[in-house]
Amino acid sequence: MSTSKIVVCPHCHRPNRVPEARLGDQGRCGHCQQILFDGTPTVLTVASFDRHIERSELPVVVDFWAPWCGPCRAMAPAFAAAARQLEPAFRLAKVNTEEEPSLAARFAIRSIPTLALFRQGKEVARQAGAIDGASLVRWVRSFE
């Protein structure tokens, strides 16, 4: 019997059951028909955050950032490149703390950028400050 994982669509934010052996096959959402893994970070808002964190059976790495933050902007290309490298084992997502201050408050984000890794609805690791792409991938893979 094949095992499967629940993957939340980055477009319509609905859960999809995907066989583990097919996670890397460019599967499409059963609801909106968009590609489930497109190699780009998912933008999360208050409306979509809990669904991705609590429903997804994939670990989710969230970059809490702000547009005025120089280190955040400098790290953005490395974070996007990491999404291409780490999918489909991990989902990478971004939360703009200026647009979603309640999420920043809820997770006590005191400095940005801050990376938080969530697994099964719970935060399991946190990294404050900008890091280069190789260090980011190494940090995330240490939780496989």
E strands, 4-87, are 4-8, 15-19, 42-43, 60-65
Q: Considering 9, 12, 29, 72, which one is annotated as catalytic? A: 72
- The pair of structure tokens assigned to 115 is 């990376």
Report the sign of the C-alpha dihedral through residues 62, 64, 65, 66, in that order.
positive
Q: In what order do the strands lie in the sheet with 122-128?
A: 42-43, 91-96, 60-65, 114-119, 122-128
- Look up 69 and say whether it is catalytic: yes
Q: Considering 12, 29, 32, 69, which one is annotated as catalytic? A: 69
Q: Find, among 92, 99, 123, 96, the residue nearest to 112 by Cα.
A: 96
- By DSSP bridging, strand 60-65 and strand 91-96 are parallel
Cα(90)–Cα(83) distance, integer angstroms: 8
- Residues with a known catalytic role: 69, 72
